[in-house]
Amino acid sequence: LVGHPLGVLALAFQPDSQRVATAGFDRQVKVWDVETGEHIMNLAGHREPVRAVSFSPDGKKLLSCSDDMAIRVWHPVSGKALMVLKGHDFQDGCLCDKNSGIKNMSCLVRGHRAGVRSLAFSPDGLVLASGSYDRTARIMDATKHSFDVMRRVAIDTEVVSVALGYMDPPKEAKKRDSEWAQSFLPRLF
């Protein structure tokens, strides 16, 4: 696939393996047809290099993160920007960006204070983790439209990569309630 003139930094396959998303130094996310190699669309909005992309396990969302401190949520078929998660730690918990031009945007989450470097969904799609140059990982509730931050973990170095998995698999593989997510999160850290 040829399309990022300044180099590719990340790629992710849609769960059904029909599409792949790539991200790069050119501040773009590009979506491709896996079978034909055809370029389907560009997703623009980041102001700095895009470091990671991740499809939700159900394939209904595509997320990208960047050195601009933002996590962007996209519709993977239409390319519509659904939300921007960006902000700093303020006591009131959020900032609102009315100049972004994105409709139906809710308050911004308490976000990273430096570029966001990595993203990962839990296998069931209930939880999203992000890692940053600010030496923190954020654990977010992916069942809510606002991706509320449930936990912030500070470490001694930049968070280069994050991953989520099951410590103890749920009894029902398709259980999708946030109570279960809350019960396994304390065991992650």
Tell me the per-residue pLDDT of 136-175, one tens digit each, with 9 for 90 and over.
Answer: 888 888 887 777 777 778 888 878 888 777 655 555 544 4
Q: In what order do the strands lie in the sheet with 50-55?
A: 50-55, 62-66, 71-74, 81-85
**Other CB atoms closer than 10 Å to residue 147's CB: what's the count?**
24
**Other CB atoms closer than 10 Å to residue 144's CB: what's the count?**
11
Tell me the per-residue pLDDT of 65-84, one tens digit each, with 9 for 90 and over.
Answer: 999 999 999 999 999 999 88
Q: What is the pTM (predicted TM-score) of this model?
A: 0.74
Residue 141: strand pairing partners: 127
Residues near 23 by beta carbon (within 8 Å), at least 6 away in sequence = 4, 8, 9, 10, 11, 29, 30, 50, 51, 52, 53, 64
CA geometry: angle 121, 109, 164, nearest 5 deg:
20
